[in-house]
Amino acid sequence: MKWSLGTVFIVIMLLVIVFTGFAQENVTITVQDYFDPAKSMGKFIQERIVEFENNHPNVKINHTFIPFNQLLPTILQQSITKTVPEIIMVNNPNVSQLIKGGVLKDLTDKVKEWGWENWEDFIKGYRDNGSYDGKIYAFQITGNNLALFYRESLLNKAGIANPPETWQELKEQCKKIKELLDISPFAYDAEASDEGSFQFYPFLWSNGGSLLELDQPEAIEALQFLTDMFKEGYIPRDVLNITSQGDLTPWFINGDVAFMINGCWEFGWHLTEDVMQQLGDVKVTSIPVQEKGIRPIVAFGGECYGISSNIDPAKYDAAWEFLEILLSSDINLKINIDSASLPTRVSATEKILTEVPILEPFLEQSKYALPMALMGGMENYGEISSILWVAIQKAFTGVATPEEVFKEAAQTIKGIFSPEDYEMYKQVARELLQEASKK
């Protein structure tokens, strides 16, 4: 009796062991980003996850939300404690830092398998940002940039027929509007964060200036122009303390400003169809430049996806498969339509213009848009950006003149690099700028 029970028990154990040995290993992958699960981006990713899980029954994907302003600190924490999730989303200015810090995995081999033409279909600026030393680390799937929004009716009231194309025209139009309507008409974000720097780049780069050479006249002129605008009262003083560029739009909607420098995402956010209809006079044009004929050169924003360098090798293939889906041209188009962002693949870009025609100035600018990090010393970009925004604020509040603050800033920036590195990054920035400005 006892013996038979024992045999039965052993047999059952053996069967269990055999079956679990043959059973598919369940792979769990985590995708981490800052997309609110209740909004279009978050929902979109979630739908892709469900689709993928259905097609791959042994893979489970968790979708983790981290608040936007905590994403980089969280990734840093995770990196130190070796708990970086398999697939992570990174805001594009931080990609260089994470590449250099060894947080992102080299995906070049997978890209070769996938098909090099897919990689080349991504717009050049995004490719430059996501790769280093010939290796590919991250893909940008959403894009955006800045343009000049204006309220046509307010311009007409002041007798202005066409939006400004040059700095001088902008200044004169602001003067007229201020005299007539007693408002500070030009909303420009000068906050103490990377968004403040982001707003400065169109003025800096269109004028031929460089982040790494702020003591040159091109850079100083750009700052001088904006500082004068601020001092004359054409820019509302409160721009120094807003939380983000999005805070400019309520002023714009209320008619408290006539112009704003803002991004295409606003059409997916404050400037909904209802609001556009209600206002009836919201127009967009490219950012004014120093002289007629110069091409406006802006920075691009947007989100990138990559794979953790510490990923468990058993999970790598599944993670890449999921990532591949997010990178396809159709997805590229769809994911950007809802949030009024710009697709990052050329093939998708061509299609979006018919769906969302108001994006035209943004799409045009995106062809020549430059990656901030590469223009600003790669992994040192964060520090350089912070030096820039402090300088801008100092000039605006009159602590020192634009020339003084930029000369000081340029000194500090130079000191961050070794002399060879400085020359190298300076050259990289110059070349990128030259290429973008070529007609």
Partner 1 sequence: MKAFSYKIYFFLIPVLVYQLIFGIYPLIYNLILSFKEVTLITYLGGGISQWIGLSNYLQILKDPVFQKAIFNTLIFTGLSLSFQFIIGFWLALLFNHTFPLKGLFQSLIMIPWVLPIMVSGSFFRWFFNDQGMANNFLLSWGFINKPIPWITSKIFPILSITAANIWLGIPFTFILLYTGLRAIPLELFESAEIDGANWWQKILYITVPLLKPVIITILTLGTILTVKAFDLIWIMTKGGPGDVSHLFTTLSYSLAFNKFHFGKASSLLVIMVLLVVGLTFLFNSTKVEEESSIE
Partner 2 sequence: MNKKQRKEWKWKWTLIALIPTIIIILPLYFIAIGGFQSAAEIFHRPPYWFPPHPSMEFYNHAWVTLFPYLKNSLIVALGNLALTLTVALPAAFVLAKFRLKLGKLTFLILLFTQILPAIAVIIPLFLIFNNFGMINNYFSVILGIAVFTIPFATVILRAYIKGIPTSLIEAAFIDGADLFRIFRSIIMPLLSPAIATAGTLTFIMAWGDFIFSLSFLKDQTMQTMSIGIYRFVGQYGIEWNNLMAGSMIFAIIPIIVALLAGKAIVAGLTAGAFK
**For binding to partner 1 (CB under 8 A), which residues are involved?**
72-73, 76, 79-80, 97, 100-103, 191-193, 236-238, 240-241, 243, 256, 379, 382-383, 385-386, 390, 393-394, 396-399
Provide the token pair at 235.
């820019």
Is residue 182 at the binding interface for partner 2, with CB under 8 A as the rule? no
Closest to partner 1 by CB, 6 or 73 = 73
| Nearest to 156, CA basis, from 170, 168, 169, 173 | 173
Is residue 28 at the binding interface for partner 2, with CB under 8 A as the rule? no
Site for partner 2 in 216-245 (CB under 8 A): 243-245
Helix (H) or strand (E) holding 30: strand 27-33
Among 4, 54, 81, 354, binds partner 2 (CB under 8 A): 81
Residue 419 to residue 425: CA distance in whole angstroms:
10
- Residue 238 binding result from partner 2, partner 1, none, given CB thresholds of 5 to 8 Å by partner type: partner 1
Pairing of strands 131-132, 259-263: unpaired
Distances (CA, A) of 311 to 29, 100, 138: 10, 17, 15
Closest to partner 1 by CB, 242 or 297 = 242
User: What is the smallest separation between the CB atom of 39 and partner 2, expressed in angstroms?
Assistant: 8
User: What count of Cα atoms within 13 Å lies in the side-chain half-sphere of residue 210?
Assistant: 21
How many angstroms separate the most distant Cα atoms in the chain? 105
Is residue 9 at the binding interface for partner 2, with CB under 8 A as the rule? no
Is residue 83 at the binding interface for partner 2, with CB under 8 A as the rule? yes
Provide the token pair at 319.
């993670």
Chain centre to alpha carbon of residue 297: 15
For 65, counting Cβ atoms within 10 Å of its Cβ (0-12 exposed, 13-18 middle, 19+ buried), the class is middle
Is residue 62 at the binding interface for partner 2, with CB under 8 A as the rule? yes
- Residue 34 binding result from partner 1, partner 2, none, given CB thresholds of 5 to 8 Å by partner type: partner 2
Closest to partner 1 by CB, 321 or 383 = 383
User: What is the smallest separation between the CB atom of 73 and partner 1, expressed in angstroms?
Assistant: 6
Among 184, 249, 336, 380, binds partner 2 (CB under 8 A): 249
- Residue 254 binding result from partner 2, partner 1, none, given CB thresholds of 5 to 8 Å by partner type: partner 2
Residue 145 to residue 12: CA distance in whole angstroms:
64
User: What is the smallest separation between the CB atom of 3 and partner 1, expressed in angstroms?
Assistant: 54
Provide the token pair at 128.
């430059």
Among 5, 38, 161, 314, binds partner 2 (CB under 8 A): 38
Residue 367 to residue 122: CA distance in whole angstroms:
11
Residue 318 to residue 61: CA distance in whole angstroms:
10
| Nearest to 173, CA basis, from 241, 258, 277 | 258
Residue 282 to residue 163: CA distance in whole angstroms:
12
User: What is the smallest separation between the CB atom of 136 and partner 2, expressed in angstroms?
Assistant: 24
Is residue 64 at the binding interface for partner 2, with CB under 8 A as the rule? yes
For 307, counting Cβ atoms within 10 Å of its Cβ (0-12 exposed, 13-18 middle, 19+ buried), the class is buried
**135 neighbors 100 (Cβ within 8 angstroms):** no
Residue 408 to residue 44: CA distance in whole angstroms:
46
Number of residues binding to partner 2, judged by CB under 8 A: 40
Site for partner 2 in 266-325 (CB under 8 A): 266, 269-270, 275, 303
Closest to partner 1 by CB, 237 or 283 = 237
- Residue 221 binding result from partner 2, partner 1, none, given CB thresholds of 5 to 8 Å by partner type: none
Is residue 253 at the binding interface for partner 2, with CB under 8 A as the rule? yes
- Residue 38 binding result from partner 1, partner 2, none, given CB thresholds of 5 to 8 Å by partner type: partner 2
- Residue 121 binding result from partner 1, partner 2, none, given CB thresholds of 5 to 8 Å by partner type: none
| Bridge partners, residue 144, by sequence | 301
- Residue 74 binding result from partner 1, partner 2, none, given CB thresholds of 5 to 8 Å by partner type: partner 2
Residue 175 to residue 167: CA distance in whole angstroms:
12
Name the site residues for partner 2 (rule: CB under 8 A).
Answer: 30, 34, 36-39, 62-70, 73-74, 77, 80-81, 83, 91, 243-247, 249-251, 253-254, 256, 263, 265-266, 269-270, 275, 303
